[in-house]
Structure 1
Amino acid sequence: MANKPQPIAVETPDQNQTDYEQKNVHEVYEVIATHFSDTRYKPWPVVEDFLNGLKPGSLGADVGCGNGKYIGVNPNVLVLGSDRSSNLIKIVHDRGFEGMVADGLNLPYRDNSFDFAISIAVIHHFASPERRLQAIKDLFKIVKPGGRVLVFVWALEQTKFSKRNFEPGQQDVFVPWKLTPKKGQTEIKEKEEDFPVYNRYYHLFKKGELDSLFEQIEGVVIETSGYDRDNHYVIAQKK
């Protein structure tokens, strides 16, 4: 059996981060959308608890919603999904949910219009500290005063049971995705090494790094933060 592709340490550019993200994040997700969606079906418990604890009738935004797996978790709230990948949004629509193609740094919503916003495994795809901070600021722009925001990012610190295999200290990495066929499909390529591999850019967050971004935003109070399933998360409220 061929060796499994491993993450690669990279240096992000000082300029043209949008082009970098376009090539190493957005274009990749357009290609792998269906295969990616097939692996994303079980909600993470912290996110599920957050959504189920919301007041009935609440209106929320799922920014970077992927295949929409969180949109229908709580049927008593309305969630609008958005993602840069048009192919993932097609899957959202096929599942009967509301979603639109939108950039996390150019959200098509009015300020102060949502009761809550979530961004799950998204912020780590932005290629600079400034862009990661701005993406979180934009979540707070669209929620009302008193509104809550939940953000999850991949952690640099991984448990020994993690499927993610990172070298210590590597914060900026390309994470490979091998595009293999579904079981039962005719396999044109006979050798595993012949299947294409696509690299996605990730910034792996150190402990406290996500909290630090939230602390830089005026008028925001962190309710709780933690580490769950090899991820860091923060739940915060807009004053």
Structure 2
Amino acid sequence: MEQPSAEAYEATHVHSVYNAIAPHFSSTRHKPWPLISSFLTAQPPGATGLDVGCGNGKYLPVNPTLHIFGSDRSENLVQLARAERNGEVVVADALSLPYRECSVDFVICVAVIHHLSTRERRQEAIQALLRCVRAGGKVLVYAWALEQGTSRRGWDEGSEQDTLVPWVMRSKGKPDATYQRYYHLYREGELEEDVVAAGGIILESGYEKDNWWVVCSSKET
């Protein structure tokens, strides 16, 4: 049996899922994570940036002195970001961003690239982020970690890195609906490897809330 293409697989197990669960998903996403908030508040007043894969736009208002343009692949999440955050948000794929090269001061990309189903596509996405920042600009990337032994999910070094994670929607008077989301769980050091392969320079990296993160810049900056 012929395997589906990466694009078709992601359409089924990422894009259609987030469109279906958008309001429920958004209702669980309100509080900004500390390190991401610190990254945004450290940007100088008037700086411009991107939130790629912004979801419901919860990071757009963190630092009101910044001008942040949001994008997401889910049309329904984009509508929520516009309505709830009054954000400048567009529908866009992370591998085909509608922004000029070297046009912004910073980029954040939180819990996005782990939804791309091949390593090549994940590295292409990081390349796309790096192309957007001007000289001296920084890119912050978060991705789910494989090493989550202390979390409720219980993944650890021996778990499969490519997995389907259920999202259960419960509605009064209706049967539960379960949607399967694709994730690539990053092992320690792998995100840094992908950044280097994408042409980036690691400035900082670490672990927060079951995620590996990196702050990087382009070699050309």
Output the TM-score relative to the length of structure 2.
0.94
Within 5 Å, give how 1:1-239 maps onto structure 2. 16-95=5-84, 96-160=86-150, 162-166=151-155, 168-181=158-171, 187-189=172-174, 194-218=175-199, 220-238=200-218, 239=221
Identical amino acids, percent of aligned pairs: 47
Q: What's the C-alpha RMSD, in Å, of the aligned pairs?
A: 1.2
8 Å CA contact 1:159, 1:230 repeated in 2: no
How far 1:169 moved relative to its partner? 2.3
Structure 1: runs of 5 or more not aligned: 1-12, 182-186
How far 1:165 moved relative to its partner? 3.7
Runs of 4+ more than 2 Å apart = 163-169
How far 1:171 moved relative to its partner? 0.3
Q: Structure 1: how far apart are the matches of 2:159 and 2:177?
A: 28
Higher relative contact order (CA 8 A, sep 6+): 1
> Which AA in structure 1 matches 2:216?
A
Please say which structure displays the higher CA radius of gyration.
1
Number of aligned positions between the proteins: 215
Q: C-alpha deviations, 1:158-202, integer Å up to 9, x for none? A: 141x13243632100000000113xxxxx113xxxx301000000
Output the TM-score relative to the length of structure 1.
0.87
8 Å CA contact 2:149, 2:155 repeated in 1: no
Look up the SS of the partner of 1:196 in the other structure: strand
